[in-house]
Amino acid sequence: MNTRLQTSAETSLHPKVYDVQHIYNRYAGMLLGYIYDVVKDKALAEQYLTDTFIAVAAVPELFNNPNDNVYCKLQLIARKKLTNYFESVGNCEVNEVVKTRPNSFLNKMNARQQTVFCGVHYHGKNISTIAAEMNEEEDVVRRLLREAFVIIRTR
């Protein structure tokens, strides 16, 4: 496996290819903030960041398309790395999540919005699963998720 980083000269010859160092320099700070917001522990967040960029180095071809959103791809890789952490949180008990993961956004959501948001964001559940768990229609769950995102956007 060739994980050699490209030089800037090579990158300029192939503008569609991003090297790992470039991606790290540009996005590591934002990604560390995202991970820290999830785990609330600096050392653990740094370890997850390292694990994420090890994974990035293993699949550099994912970053060959300049039209793709690199940060979104990095978040997806980080979320896969965080799967064990998400599973350790257990079911999304609203009061427990708010206590163990202080988050100003969660505090502004009502209990139903928190349940839907946590189910999607922290546990990776799909809308139909959450709807079944809440004994609600899928349209209601989608509306609750949209409301949760409105709260996040209007901070």
| Cα distance between residue 123 and residue 79, in whole Å | 10
Q: Phi, psi at residue 89, to the nearest 5°?
A: -75, -25
Ordered domains of the chain (ranges, CATH): 8-86 (1.10.1740), 91-153 (1.10.10)
Confidence at 53, pLDDT banded by 50, 70, 90: very high
Q: What is the pLDDT of residues 67-90, one digit of tens each?
A: 888 888 898 888 888 876 665 555
pLDDT at 106 (0 to 100): 77
**Chain centre to alpha carbon of residue 115:** 17
Opening angle at CA 72, ends 25 and 23, nearest 5: 20
Residue % of the chain over a pLDDT of 70? 75
DSSP state of 6: P
Opening angle at CA 88, ends 82 and 89, nearest 5: 95
Confidence at 1, pLDDT banded by 50, 70, 90: very low
pTM over 0.75: no
Q: What is the pLDDT of residues 101-120, one digit of tens each?
A: 556 777 788 889 888 888 88
Which residue is listed with tokens 């709260």? 151
Q: Is 109 exposed, middle or buried (0-12, 13-18, 19+ CB in 10 A)?
A: buried
